[in-house]
Amino acid sequence: MAVVEELLRSEKDGTISFGNHALASKAKLEDFEHSGDLYKVKTFKTMTRLEKNGMFVYESVPGTSVLHFAETAEEVSFVVEGTEDAQITVGLSEDTEYEVFVDEKSIGKMKTNLSGKLVLSAELAEAGEVKVRIAK
């Protein structure tokens, strides 16, 4: 499994990768600049959290490693890795319906709450990694 040793990095394809689910103690990186935005990540084996410009973007319990995280006005996509099943919360537009895909299979439509958070589960214990896409 690939963890992000530097905690947060820019990828050549314009995406970011972040988190290290293998860390035994908390680690964080602040003021990471990518495409004009400032990111902050906190990560370790029990939790991974990402903020962009001070706003919530992603959180998982337990901790995960996230590769090729990309967001547009229409969708968010990423590959998530971990050793245990994870509950993932993603910050999106408030009170909006999205279709959620895990490994290219639709798991249904979900609506964000008034704070724009969408919660899903990723079964990582057996698979190790899954691709997630959340589309309007």
For residue 115, the model assigns a pLDDT of: 93
Predicted confidence at residue 4, as pLDDT, reads 77
- Give the model's pLDDT for residue 1: 55
Name the average pLDDT for the chain: 94
- Quote the CA–CA distance of 78 and 131 in Å, as a whole number: 6
| CA 29 to chain centroid | 16
Name the CATH code of domain 8-135 (choices 2.60.40, 1.10.3470, 2.60.220, 3.30.70). 2.60.220
| Domain ranges for the chain | 8-135
Collect the ranges in the chain with pLDDT lower than 50.
Answer: none
pLDDT tens column, 12-45: 999 999 999 999 899 999 999 999 999 999 999 9
Give how far the C-alpha of residue 39 lies from the chain's centroid of Cα atoms, to the nearest Å: 13
Classify 110 as helix, strand or coil: strand
Place of tokens 């860390």: 23
